[in-house]
Structure 1
Amino acid sequence: MKFYKALIITLAVSYLLTSCFEDNDDNIIQASEINDFVWKGMNTFYLYKENVSNLANDRFTSDAEYADYLNDFSSPEQLFESLIYERQTFDRFSWITDNYFENEALLNGRTLTNGMQFTIMRRSDTDPVRYGIVLYVLPGSSADIQGLKRGDIFYAVNGSDLYYNSPSDNNYSLFDSVTYSIDLGTYNTNGTPELDDDSVTSLGESVSLTKEDFTENPIHVNKVLDVGGKKIGYLMYTGFNGSSSELNNVFATFKSAGVTELVLDLRYNSGGFNSKAILMSSLITGQFTGDVLIKKYFNNELQTIFEDQDPDFLIDKFINNEDGMSLNSLNLNKVYALTTVWSASASELVINCLKPYIDVIQIGTNTSGKYQGSFTLYDSPDFTKDGVNPNHTYAIQPLIFKYANIDDKTDFFDGLEPDIFLGETRTNLGILGDENEPLLAEAIGNITGTGKFINQKGQNTIESDNLEPINSIKGKLIDDRKIPKHITNRLIFE
């Protein structure tokens, strides 16, 4: 039988969890209350529900069996992780949080950070010694005030040399402190393409960095370049969040300057809100208003209900205004996208979903390969924040849909492959927005017809142990619409 549960608060002593959790008022609550929310949310919405036997609607035959199952887990995190389908392959991105206030801040670009966006690099596969390289610095942050810049090298934190042997054997936790110092160095290739003879030499200089509550403006660099008679707009966009009006104003500047070519730099953009991806796609174009941009696919049960009751929820269309704000669209038929393995989710959505409509010339390396999206689910009757359970601040961010373009292209697990492969090199990162920065220079050369492309795929391209810049959120696409109440009501009470 189909077993949809009301909130279970176990009364019998045999059903009580031995471990408890505290809310913000230091009141003890039973973990089963949170576990019940976690299971119900995953059972209702999880994209890979059909692949997880413990999420089957007929998994439990009684409330007692269900309560026993919940109470076998020592924490909500353990339960959540047990319900993830193939963490290393299919679902690398679902997460749970014990503080949805922090989660909301994170999704909106507000974090505790010192502003140094960096990655950890290795010299070879066998050498455990590591060093860091600064990818970019947030304006106005501690790192900016201390004078750090893109391309700076550091090899130690608080005087300890960085090392990495395995995910559980490294000293990356040194970065967790609110304040820490880094020792700067220079990178030397010794004139060879091999890594084994490379070295980092100390500069004898250290920099102290302090984290603060900081909101990043995702419009990191924007400028108009006049090259070879071409008006080229350049926008480095680091996250699909922030102000829609500010982004619209950037495109107004491009439009008034007569921009006819656009380079969209997404190399460090790991995603963000679905609505901002729609906005970006519509600003680049403008001639496709009302046409389908995105198609979404949920788990089988949800998909059937949406198709029956609310099919419009399964698609997103190009727009020409947002909340009454007219868009300064460029009406382009071509865009250049700069990408790396850190370009994920909403970044990939823009590239993939624009391709059926205009030429998208991708320059860089393969993207991350995240074609799924999530909603924030709260412990409330309809999983929205309205009427949220006041006893705790847990929320879950599971993958609940995958997206495709109008031609149904999806499931690009290995990422989107560039038209022109050009890896960032550790010895020549360049200045973001500068005409001579390698990736931008390649785009400009392609635009003006003067490009002399050299495939830089090789040992000196940037690699990292965790394949993501430190201080970033792993690939995310957050659908910021609410699921209609008539849909959740049908799911919960059916």
Structure 2
Amino acid sequence: MKSFLTLYCIAIITIVLSCTNNDDNPPVFPEGSTESVNVWVQDSMRRYYYWADQMPVKPDYHLPVKDFFKSLLAPQDRFSFIVNTEDTSSYPRSIRNMYGFDYTVIQQTNGNVLAVIKLVLKNSPAFNAGLERGMIITRINGKNITAANAETLTSSMKDLTVLDLTVGNWKNEAVTDEKDIKVYYGLSFEQPVLSKVFEKNGKKVGYLYVYDFPDGMTSVFSQKFAEFKTAGVQELILDLRYNYGGSVSAAAALCSLIPPGISESSPFITFKGNKNGGQVKRTFAQQIAYDPKAIGFNALRANALGLNKVYILTSNSTASAAEIVINNLKPYAQVIQIGSTTLGKDMAGFSVEDKRKPRKISWQIHPVIYKVFNADGTGEYSNGISPQIAVNEYAELPLLPLGDSNETLISSVLNGGYLRSADHERFNKDVKILYQSDLNFIQGQK
């Protein structure tokens, strides 16, 4: 089962914390009290939090723990969060991790408002109920979806265990074949890496859709690239449009399989923390090795394609380790990014918790700890990484399956459509994105 924590850009170490406080005059509260937990939270954040110097000097220790944690965060922090490991209701919830799908509400040029299913996870409740990418949701629990109520309807889903959806197909500029579907809350399992080989002007083009970056992916990536190499792939399309991120080591492994001329000592990433964390530099080999399940750098490189150029498909759901792939490949290969601007999670972190035995504090902190930079020192993309070629995924409906050669973003590469003015206009119709069911989750966890 995929945990929601997969999306968190886990960096490099596991940590054991004591419950000491770094204040010159630390407050003292009874052990086990909310206030004592808050002192531990404050102490932990002062050590590791990237914006520790912006934390309030005298916070209100009497606040509930989640509210206290929120009071410590810098205004620009969209991503730090805290959970109580003994209370499942404290964990972030999303439509994707509860039911296994995501949707986008768009407004077409004629004013029509549509809720388009953009993603259905394999072996998820939504998949098993018959939902498919490209379907249109017309009603949620009996209510018609509008631009005004989409966010409220999505929020209400998080408190339910079954969804009553009315869905249809998009044909001839209208919704047809409507039917009612029940989607029950449940588990979604490990998502497969999808690979294909296309033909483009006599060249073999490899296509790789990567949903996320859990640890243990190096052997999967190695196998896929070995297949590409055997097939004679000369160009590569990397589809990261819905990838929230995950392990930096897995991202480094993928990057190591693409460009020519890198070695174990080639620099991959720099982590920059607060005054306590300082600066940490990693080569490709060093970063990959932080995955306990990883195969070695040299074994990976045996299957590398050695490409000077890569096409990467993105959306504003592309985040964290997926953005690291884009930014950190740039010193070594030409990256042609197609789609929409990414989310802008230019940072990494690790979980902070009480490892004492017996454990006295059940809270677990997921703070922003580092900003990340590539081998050229380039980073600071908190506003997202903009594509060289903007292509609106929703310009043409229905959305086709991921991996379909006629799908909008894929065909813009295969057909060179981004180079032709007629296709550029076709792929950039004035379709407005009004709401996306996943964005509040990936940037609203605090």
2:380 aligned with 1:411, yes or no? yes
2:62 aligned to which of 72, 91, 94: 72
| Number of the residue aligned with 2:207 | 234
CA distance in 2, matches of 1:345, 1:100: 27
Residues 1:243 and 2:216 aligned together: yes
If the length of structure 1 is used for normalisation, what is the TM-score? 0.73
Could you tell me whether the CA contact under 8 Å between 1:118 and 1:469 is conserved in 2?
no
Q: Is 2:392 the partner of 1:423?
A: yes
Return the offset for 1:165: 4.2
Contact 1:218 1:242 in 2 (8 A): no
Aligned ranges 1:154-173 → 2 under 5 Å: 154-163=137-146, 165=148, 172-173=155-156
> Cα 1:324–1:338, aligned 2, differ >3 Å: closer, same or farther?
closer
* 8 Å CA contact retained: 1:130, 1:155: no
The equivalent residue for 1:98 is: 84
The percent of aligned pairs where both chains have the same amino acid is: 28
**Contact 2:418–2:424 (8 Å) recurs in 1:** no
- Give the partner amino acid of 1:316: R
User: Is the CA contact (8 Å cut-off) linking 1:154 and 1:185 kept in structure 2?
Assistant: yes
Partner of 2:13: none
Gaps of 5+ in 1: 17-28, 60-68, 191-199, 307-313, 381-386, 477-494
Within 5 Å, give how 1:63-462 maps onto structure 2. Answer: 69=59, 71-73=61-63, 75-86=64-75, 90-99=76-85, 113-115=98-100, 117-123=101-107, 131-163=114-146, 165=148, 172-185=155-168, 203-217=177-191, 219=193, 221-241=194-214, 243-244=216-217, 245-285=219-259, 287-289=261-263, 290-303=265-278, 314-319=280-285, 322=289, 323-325=294-296, 326-327=299-300, 328-380=303-355, 387=356, 390-425=359-394, 427-446=397-416, 453-455=423-425, 456-460=427-431
Quick one: distance in 2 between partners of 1:449 and 1:170? 40
Q: What amino acid is the match of 2:55? A: V
1:353 Cα deviation (Å)? 1.1
In the TM superposition, residue 119 of structure 1 has moved relative to its aligned partner by 2.1
Distance 2:357 2:113 in 1: 44
1:352 positional shift? 0.8
SS of alignment partner, residue 212 of structure 1? coil
SS of 1:410's equivalent in the other structure is coil
Partners of 1:450 and 1:365 in 2: how far apart?
Answer: 18
Q: Which moves more between the two structures, 452-461 or 408-417?
A: 452-461
The number of residues matched between the two structures is: 409
Give the SS at the match of 2:403.
coil
Q: Residue 197 of structure 1 aligns with which residue?
A: none
Distance 1:256 1:140 in 2: 30
The structural deviation recorded for 1:118 is 1.6
Q: 1:163, 1:170 within 8 Å by CA — same for their partners in 2?
A: no
Compared CA separation, residues 7 and 249, structure 1 to 2 (3 A): farther
The residue that corresponds to 2:29 in the other structure is: 10
Moved more, 77-86 or 224-233: 224-233
- 1:221-248 deviation per Cα after TM superposition (whole angstroms, max 9, x unaligned): 2112233321111011111115322222
What is the one-letter code of the residue matched to 1:162? I
Contact 1:8 1:32 in 2 (8 A): no
Distance in 2 (CA, whole Å) between partners of 1:39 and 1:256 is: 54
Secondary structure in structure 1 of the residue aligned to 2:406:
coil
Cα distance in 1 between the residues matched to 2:378 and 2:242: 23
Q: Is the CA contact 1:271–1:475 (under 8 Å) kept in the aligned structure 2?
A: no
SS in 1 for 2:424: coil
Change (3 A) 1:418 1:425: same
Contact 1:369–1:416 (8 Å) recurs in 2:
yes
SS in 2 for 1:338: strand
- 8 Å Cα contact 2:106-2:431 kept in structure 1: no
Unaligned runs of 5+ residues in structure 2 are 1-20
CA distance in 2, matches of 1:152, 1:34: 47
Give CA-to-partner distance per residue, 1:182-215, whole Å, 9 cap, x none: 011456897xxxxxxxxx7574411111222222
Instruction: Identify which of structures 1 and 2 has the higher relative contact order when contacts are C-alpha pairs closer than 8 Å and 6+ apart.
Output: 2
Larger radius of gyration: 1
In structure 2, do the counterparts of structure 1 residues 449 and 132 end up closer, same or farther at CA, with 3 Å as the change threshold?
A: closer
The structure-2 alpha-carbon separation of the partners of 1:319 and 1:230, relative to structure 1 and needing over 3 Å to count, comes to farther
Query: Which residue identity does 1:144 align to in structure 2?
Result: F
Decide whether the 8 Å contact of 2:411 with 2:417 is kept in 1.
Answer: no
Shift in Å, 1:101: 9.6
How big is each residue's C-alpha offset from its partner over 1:379-420, in whole Å with a ceiling of 9 and x where there is no partner? 24xxxxxx3662443101110110111222222232111111
- CA distances 1:50-85 after superposition (whole Å, capped 9, x unpaired): 22343xxxx6xxxxxxxxx55321x11011100111
Q: Give the whole-Å Cα distance in 1 for the aligned partners of 2:337 and 2:162.
A: 38
Report the 3-state secondary structure (helix = DSSP H, G, I; strand = E; otherwise coil) of the residue aligned with 1:301.
coil
